[in-house]
Amino acid sequence: SRVIRAPRGTELNAKSWQTEAPLRMLMNNLDPDVAEHPQGLVVYGGIGRAARNWECFDQIVATLKRLELDETLLVQSGKPVGVFKTHENAPRVLIANSNLVPHWANWEHFNELDKQGLAMYGQMTAGSWIYIGTQGIVQGTYETFVAVAKKHFDGVAAGRWVLTGGLGGMGGAQPLAATMAGFSMIAVECDESRIDFRLRTGYVDKKAYSLDEALAMVEQAKVEGKPVSVGLLANAADIFGELVEKGVTPDVVTDQTSAHDPLNGYLPQGWTMEKAAEMRQQDEAAVVKAAKASMAVQVQAMLTLQSRGAATLDYGNNIRQMALEEGVNNAFDFPGFVPAYIRPLFCEGIGPFRWVALSGDPEDIYKTDQKVKELIPDDPHLHNWLDMARERIHFQGLPARICWVGLKDRARLGRAFNEMVKNGELKAPVVIGRDHLDSGSVASPNRETEGMMDGSDAVSDWPLLNAMLNTAGGATWVSLHHGGGVGMGFSQHSGIVILCDGSDEADARISRVLWNDPATGVMRHADAGYDIAKNCAEEQGLDLPMLNKGDI
């Protein structure tokens, strides 16, 4: 059994920082403090992997170590397939994961290929080597809960509680984000090791073994005037149904089990984890069938709780689609979180921007935190986030920070970090990236592009253009994935990571890429007709030929 950790410090294992950076980030994705199931190369989000298998992993590492500054490595669904001559301003790695021709783009076909060793599920940041542990989702979840409180409870979360399912790689962020936003939370999780992991890393406060016990903890917290988060060991479909029967209605209801992957990501009601593991070997169709039936039960319960007044939202795991396919015709009656709370941010290119200190030294991140505050002095909400993050978020693997900022800030911050590397303020280079869940990088009609104003939800030209433009601009690595978040058939998306090595060339590349990338998001939303995006485009001087002709 292998244990992978990224090298720290300033000594190079590859020929330059441009290749050392993807090397460390690939390894960091498989760090046992970062990945959910590192032995199986699984990083998060069901079966989201960092490389196709260990042989491919080893060969990627070997190739990165020998790669020259004018060469580019191609990675195809986690396998290193070719090295080609490019140039210094081209990406060092180009990645395509899990992409399937649409007519065949479903889990059945994918799983068949996967079994033959011909595929890999890249999720979003797993196969594109910019996962930073559960922190990566904390701020987004926090912002969403804050927005929920604003919209439904006059901004006051105190004394209220959220019901959810799933404490995995992403879902594990929910209890911390909830308490940061002032809510208590009961998070139903069927795998005790996941709850214990969240307890250990400070993401959840308490563990419970029954609904009554959990409800008592929440009640107690209300009395004490301090929010609490509880990991409840149970099946979400059972507990959601139990609440309906009991007549207890949470204030907010959502879910982050891996419903997007009915074979691997969701435990059917009445099954033990062991039974599920066995059945996955023996009868895949039976697992899928049982899982989707339980999801239908859970979604029915969510709809009932919504009708009783709970603010109910899909948290991006495609559970509504699964229930719909099981005959729950009104599954889409509760909204997805993007149209409900996040889209206005996307209109300004704001999304889950993040960076990682390749030195491994937390001080490097604290210095960048400080720099962000300096450069964005007028945003108390952001300052508050940075303070809370420093205090409450344990780093996993290489120290990293997430911070939702948009078009007007990303390139500025990137250039400042590059300057800090140049003048020695930081001990080693930093990489900057983002989730594929971002403003201009994804087409996902049940999530990021649900209910677009002009009906263009399913048009995926946009993420493809985003990837090509970031390749043209000189990001350090660029990725194009299919099926992230919501599963096979339901999304296409792209990722970037760019290196700040303190050089002038990096400064030029950062200026282009960290501007262009969020700008494509503003462009896409302006094209769809959103005023916030049109105004942002105008303010920031974007060159949008069809809009600049006068109809802005």
Q: Which residues form the interface with ligand NAD (CB under 6 A)?
A: 36, 44-46, 137, 140, 165-171, 188-191, 194, 235-237, 256-260, 265-267, 315-317, 437, 485
Task: Report, in Å, the least distance between residue 511 CB and a second copy.
Answer: 8
Tell me how far, at minimum, the Cβ of 131 lies from a second copy, in Å: 20
135 binds, among a second copy, ligand NAD, none (CB under 5 to 8 A by kind): none
Q: Which of 56, 190, 347, 403 is catalytic?
A: 403
Q: Where are the alpha helices (DSSP H) in 204-314?
A: 211-224, 236-246, 273-282, 284-307
Distance, in Å, from the CA atom of 386 to the CA atom of 315, rounded to the nearest integer, reads 24
Touching a second copy, residues 90-109 (CB under 8 A)? 90-91, 94, 96-106, 109
* Stretch touching a second copy by CB under 8 A, among 74-82, 226-234, 368-376, 383-391: 74-82
Choose between 63 and 257: whose C-beta lies nearer to ligand NAD.
257
Return the residues of window 224-263 that contact a second copy according to CB under 8 A.
Answer: none
Q: Which is nearer to ligand NAD, 316 or 518 (CB)?
A: 316
The secondary structure element, H or E, covering residue 496 is strand 492-500
Answer yes or no: are the C-beta atoms of 92 and 25 closer than 8 Å.
no
In the bound state with ligand NAD, the residue whose beta carbon lies nearer, of 448 and 501, is 448
Q: Which does 490 bind (CB under 5 to 8 A by kind): ligand NAD, a second copy, none?
A: a second copy
List the single partner that 266 binds among ligand NAD, a second copy, none, CB under 5 to 8 Å by kind: ligand NAD
Whose CA is closest to 229, among 181, 170, 183?
Answer: 183
Count the alpha carbons within 13 Å of 99 in the hemisphere toward its beta carbon: 13
CB of 524 to a second copy, least distance (A): 8
Tokens standing for 175? 């209890």
| Closest distance to ligand NAD from the beta carbon of 39 (Å) | 15
Nearest to 182, CA basis, from 214, 200, 155: 155
What are the phi and psi torsion angles at 415 (to 5°)? -65, -35
The vertex-437 CA angle with 503 and 37, nearest 5°, equals: 90
Tokens read off for 485: 């978040």
445 binds, among ligand NAD, a second copy, none (CB under 5 to 8 A by kind): a second copy
**Nearest CB to ligand NAD, comparing residues 473 and 485:** 485
Ranges assigned E (strand) in 372-452? 400-405, 430-434, 442-443
- Angle of CA points 89, 90, 92, to nearest 5°: 120
| Cβ neighbourhood burial of 465 (10 Å; 0-12, 13-18, 19+) | middle
Q: How much is the CA Rg of the chain, to the nearest whole Å? A: 22
Helix (H) or strand (E) holding 355: strand 351-357
**Is position 403 annotated as part of the catalytic site?**
yes
> With respect to ligand NAD, which residue has the nearer C-beta, 261 or 364?
261
Taking CB within 5 to 8 Å according to partner kind, which of ligand NAD, a second copy, none is near residue 36? ligand NAD
Tokens 């669904």 sit on residue:
77
Cβ-based nearer residue to ligand NAD, 22 or 351: 351
Distance CA 175, CA 164 (A): 9
> Among ligand NAD, a second copy, none, what does residue 516 contact (CB within 5–8 Å per kind)?
a second copy
**In the range 13-42, which residues lie near a second copy by CB under 8 A?**
none
Judged by beta carbon distances under 5 to 8 A according to partner kind, the member of ligand NAD, a second copy, none in contact with residue 83 is: a second copy
535 binds a second copy (CB under 8 A): no
Q: Is residue 154 classed exposed, middle or buried when 0-12, 13-18 and 19+ CB atoms within 10 A define those classes?
A: exposed
Residue 124 CB, nearest approach to ligand NAD (Å):
6
Verify binding: residue 458, a second copy, rule CB under 8 A.
yes
Asked whether position 116 contacts a second copy by CB under 8 A, the answer is yes
Query: Taking a C-beta distance cutoff of 8 angstroms, is the pair 106, 41 a contact?
Result: no
In which residue are the tokens 């590349």 written?
Answer: 509
**How many Å apart are CA 275 and CA 239, to the nearest integer?**
20
Which lies closer to a second copy via its Cβ, residue 38 or residue 445?
445
Q: Give the nearest distance from C-beta 253 to a second copy in angstroms.
A: 26
Q: Which is nearer to ligand NAD, 196 or 379 (CB)?
A: 196
Contact call for residue 540 and a second copy (CB under 8 A):
no
> Reading across the β-sheet that carries 252-253, which strands appear in turn?
206-208, 229-233, 184-189, 161-165, 252-253, 311-312
Shortest distance, CB of residue 351 to a second copy, whole angstroms?
A: 18
For residue 140, the partner it binds in a second copy, ligand NAD, none, with Cβ less than 5 to 8 A by kind, is ligand NAD
User: For residues 492-521, which are near a second copy according to CB under 8 A?
Assistant: 492, 508, 512, 515-516, 519-520
Alpha-carbon span 252 to 263, nearest angstrom: 28
Q: Binding a second copy by CB under 8 A: which of 482, 506, 530, 533?
A: 482
Most distant CA pair in the chain: distance in Å? 66
| Residues numbered 261-300 forming contacts with a second copy, rule: CB under 8 A | none
Supply the minimum distance, in Å, between the C-beta of residue 136 and ligand NAD.
8
Number of residue whose CB is nearest ligand NAD: 168
Kindly state the number of chain residues that form the binding site for a second copy, as judged by CB under 8 A. Answer: 83
Taking CB within 5 to 8 Å according to partner kind, which of ligand NAD, a second copy, none is near residue 137? ligand NAD
Report in angstroms how near the CB of residue 454 gets to a second copy at its nearest.
Answer: 6
Cα–Cα distance between 22 and 128 in angstroms, integer?
Answer: 9
CB within 8 Å of 56: residues ≥ 6 apart: 78, 79, 80
Residues 393-452 that bind a second copy (CB under 8 A): 443-445
Residue 263: left if φ>0, alpha if ψ -120 to 50, beta else—which one? Answer: alpha
Q: Smallest distance from the beta carbon of 177 to ligand NAD, in angstroms?
A: 11
Residue number, 89 or 307, with CB nearest to a second copy: 89
Amino acid identity of residue 7, one-letter, is P
What's the full length of the chain, in residues?
552
Query: Among all residues, which ones are annotated catalytic?
Result: 403
